[in-house]
Amino acid sequence: MKTLLIIDVQNDFMPSGSLPVPDGDKIVPIINGMQHKFNLIIGTQDWHPRNHISFASNHEGKSNFDEIEIHGQQQTLWPDHCVQGTEGAEFHPDLNTDNFEAIFRKGTDKNIDSYSAFYDNCHLKATGLASYLKEKGTTELYLCGLAADICVYFSINDAFKEGFACTFIEDASKALDDDEFKKLKKEMIAMGIQIVTSQYI
């Protein structure tokens, strides 16, 4: 089964949001226009409690984008974003979600961040997405969304480790840091991840 995983196309990651991804809104019509090419479509949402450990506002004396250590790992401190039940956590209003078979939410535990759609950053807790996709018979997994260098990248890594044949849709994704993503693309190619644009699906 050919499956599309649309990652975190949410208001707070748009140019007017609290954690804007440059040109994040430009991918919405591309994602809408290719949905008919897939048998199964899944969406994900960052869905943080207000007191989430990754928010700089919850660490006295710290600023947005500072780096600290949590659970033995480096953690970027982010602006408050995608807080549960807020407008910022909702999907972009123009994103067609009618065809979404399911929505998986991540980052719900206040004590640990979760970039990947499959696991938290320490791989302590699964979202259940891998089991769901396997039960549905997913053989080809295509990934896109925001941000390409963070949540999409970590999701691709975990999907690959779970044994899925992964394809990254480049024009349906945008990175927070383009220079960083150029390096990550080389890693993905070395892993055997296919990189395509939507017109070649």
Known catalytic residues are 8, 106, 151
Q: Within its chain, how far is the Cα of 34 from the centroid? A: 18
Q: Return the number of other C-beta atoms located less than 10 Å from residue 98's C-beta.
A: 8
Q: Phi and psi of 3, rounded to 5°? A: -120, 140
Q: Is 117 exposed, middle or buried (0-12, 13-18, 19+ CB in 10 A)?
A: buried
Q: Which of 74, 163, 158 is nearest to 123 (CA)?
A: 158
Sign of the torsion formed by the C-alpha atoms of 27, 47, 82 and 188: negative
Q: Phi and psi of 31, rounded to 5°? A: -65, -45
Residue 96 contacts residue 26 (beta carbons within 8 Å): no
Residue 145 contacts residue 175 (beta carbons within 8 Å): no
